Amino acid sequence: MAIKVGDTLPDATFVTMTDAGPNKIAGADVFKGRKVALFSVPGAFTPTCSAKHLPGFVEKAAALKAKGIDTIACTAVNDAFVLGAWAKASGVGDEVTMLADGNGDFVKALGLTMDGSGFGMGTRGQRFSLVANDGVVELLNVEAPGSFEVSSADHLLGQL
């Protein structure tokens, strides 16, 4: 069953890339006491994710924060090395926190996986965006397969 508005985000451990290497971070440390805009992409360096999804959140970071968002985070079923390289190649800077969900445990717990095996990608996270306030989902936008409409930074900004 997929997560819905009003639900609490499941416990999770993510990995971020730091100058010293990969660093594990508990989901509670990301979400507790904060209003977080989280978006999920099927994979780093993929066309729509690189051309539209991630850049939209980087470009709209100030506007999202002006609407009360404390943290903007991106998750993908990729390892921290890949997400770190993607962030660097995309010029993310400090605007977006990259949260590697390498084994897909978080998206599985959310009930938001997709089968990318037809493209050699295995199980991945669906494309979605959400706003969680102290770990409780306030807004949730899950894309239809192959679409990029409701999970964009612009759409989320319009909901705030």
pLDDT along the chain (160 residues), means of 10: 93 94 96 97 82 91 97 96 94 93 96 78 84 98 91 96
Torsion of CA 32, 26, 105, 69, to 10 degrees: 40
Question: Annotated catalytic, 49?
Answer: yes
Helices (H) and strands (E) in the chain, counts: 7, 9
Q: For residue 122, what pLDDT is reported?
A: 61
Q: For residue 3, what pLDDT is reported?
A: 94
In CATH terms, 13-159 corresponds, of 3.30.429.10, 3.40.30.10, 3.30.70.260, 3.20.20.80, to 3.40.30.10
Query: Could you tell me the two tokens for 31?
Result: 């979400």
Amino acid at 72: I
Beta-carbon contacts of 31 under 8 Å, excluding residues fewer than 6 positions away, are 9, 132, 134, 135
Q: How far apart are the first and last CA of the chain?
A: 26
Positions of E strands within the chain: 13-18, 21-26, 35-40, 71-76, 97-100, 113-115, 123-125, 128-133, 136-142
Separation between Cα atoms, residue 117 and residue 36, nearest integer Å: 30
Q: What is the CA 41 to chain-centroid distance, rounded?
A: 6
Query: Could you tell me the two tokens for 38?
Result: 């989280």
Q: Model's pTM, two decimal places?
A: 0.93
Q: For residue 119, what pLDDT is reported?
A: 77
In the chain, what are the domain boundaries? 13-159
Catalytic hit among 3, 49, 72, 87: 49
